[in-house]
């Protein structure tokens, strides 16, 4: 391993008992919350591997739900998340399952329903020491770690949509770190995932929304957890 930072060794400040099963789970929940735009009425969590086997004893269930309530991994309200969700009228369910052979042992698939009844699926894994990665968003393979901003779009599969978006990014001097496009042949719909090297504002999403053929845009900014010393900006 390369030389770790002092803050990789000392910290994070977190709610126990496990960095991967509790702190990482809370972080995954928070990413799902952000990806869902904060509008969550119901969530079903499919737990895989070690998450499925030990989720009660590690408080993985409470931590996942706490993240979905926008709580940080260091927030002491983590352990009361069932009650807080009930107060907010958010329903939830945990289903231990098998998500497949090549799936990381600490993986969860969120199926989120928002207030308009639309559903949204996110799969992510806690890969050790509280670090997490989102591997799938609405069936699209991604590799989102919460460190860089991403844009996700749904659009009609027609020529020109991509060049419109890349032009908007170029005009703002924003470099693209990673980009994926997937499409469904049946209904001529497509999804795009763009990871950006630098921050952008909501004006960009507004501009993207105006592009002909775009049906949905989500901007996800880096996950900030000011209570976690190892994670905050210098």
Partner 1 sequence: MNASEILTACCKDSLLLSTFALRHETEQNGISEAVIRNRFDRMLTVMETSAAEARQNPVRSVSGLTGGDAFLYEQYRSASLLGETVSLAVACALSCSEINASMGKIVACPTAGSCGIVPAAVLAVSSSKGLDREKQINALLCAGLVGQIIGEHACLAGAQGGCQAECGSASAMAAAAVVELLGGSPEQSFDAAAIAIKNSLGLVCDPVAGLVEIPCIKRNVGGVVNALSAADLALAGIHSRIPFDDTVDALNRVGRQLPTSLRETAMGGLATTAAGIQLAEQIKQ
Neighbours of 54 (CB within 10 A): 15
Residue among 67, 130, 146, 149 that touches partner 1 (CB under 8 A)? 130
Query: Is position 101 an interface residue for partner 1 (rule: CB under 8 A)?
Result: no
Residue among 19, 125, 135, 145 that touches partner 1 (CB under 8 A)? 19
Query: Is position 49 an interface residue for partner 1 (rule: CB under 8 A)?
Result: no
Per-residue binding letters, 190-229, with partner 1 (x by CB under 8 A):
---------------------------------------x
Residue among 84, 96, 111, 129 that touches partner 1 (CB under 8 A)? 129
Query: Least separation, in Å, of the C-beta of 72 and partner 1?
Result: 11
**What residues have CB less than 8 Å from 81, skipping those under 6 apart?**
62, 63, 65, 66, 69, 71
Both tokens of 184, joined, read 């469904």
The CA distances from residue 169 to 45, 177, 191, 211, in Å, are 35, 12, 17, 13
Residue among 41, 42, 44, 79 that touches partner 1 (CB under 8 A)? 79
Q: Is 95 left (phi over 0), alpha (psi -120 to 50) or beta?
A: beta
Query: Is position 74 an interface residue for partner 1 (rule: CB under 8 A)?
Result: yes
Helices (DSSP H) in 60-143: which residue ranges?
Answer: 60-68, 81-87
The site for partner 1 (CB under 8 A) is made up of 1-19, 22-23, 50, 53-54, 56-59, 62, 74, 76, 78-79, 128-130, 229, 232, 234
């Amino acid at each position: 391993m390369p030389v770790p930072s002092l803050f990789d060794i000392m910290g994070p400040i977190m709610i126990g008992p496990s960095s991967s099963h509790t702190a990482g789970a809370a972080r995954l929940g928070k990413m799902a919350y952000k990806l869902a735009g904060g509008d969550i009425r119901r969530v079903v969590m499919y737990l895989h591997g070690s998450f499925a086997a030990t989720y009660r004893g590690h408080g993985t269930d409470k931590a996942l739900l706490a993240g979905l309530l926008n709580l940080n991994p260091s927030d002491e309200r983590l352990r009361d998340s069932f009650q807080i969700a009930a107060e907010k009228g958010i329903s939830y369910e945990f289903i231990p399952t098998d998500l497949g052979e090549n799936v990381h042992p600490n993986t969860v698939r969120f199926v989120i329903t928002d207030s308009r009844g639309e559903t949204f699926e996110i799969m992510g894994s806690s890969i050790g020491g509280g670090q997490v990665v989102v591997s799938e968003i609405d069936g699209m393979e991604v590799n989102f770690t919460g460190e860089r901003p991403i844009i996700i779009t749904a659009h009609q599969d027609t020529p020109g949509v991509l060049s419109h978006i890349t032009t908007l990014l170029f005009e703002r001097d924003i470099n693209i770190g990673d980009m994926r496009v997937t499409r469904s042949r049946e209904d001529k719909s497509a999804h795009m995932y763009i990871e950006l090297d630098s921050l952008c504002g909501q004006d960009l999403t507004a501009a993207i929304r105006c592009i002909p053929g775009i049906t949905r845009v989500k901007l996800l900014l880096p996950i900030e957890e000011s209570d976690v010393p190892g994670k905050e900006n210098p």
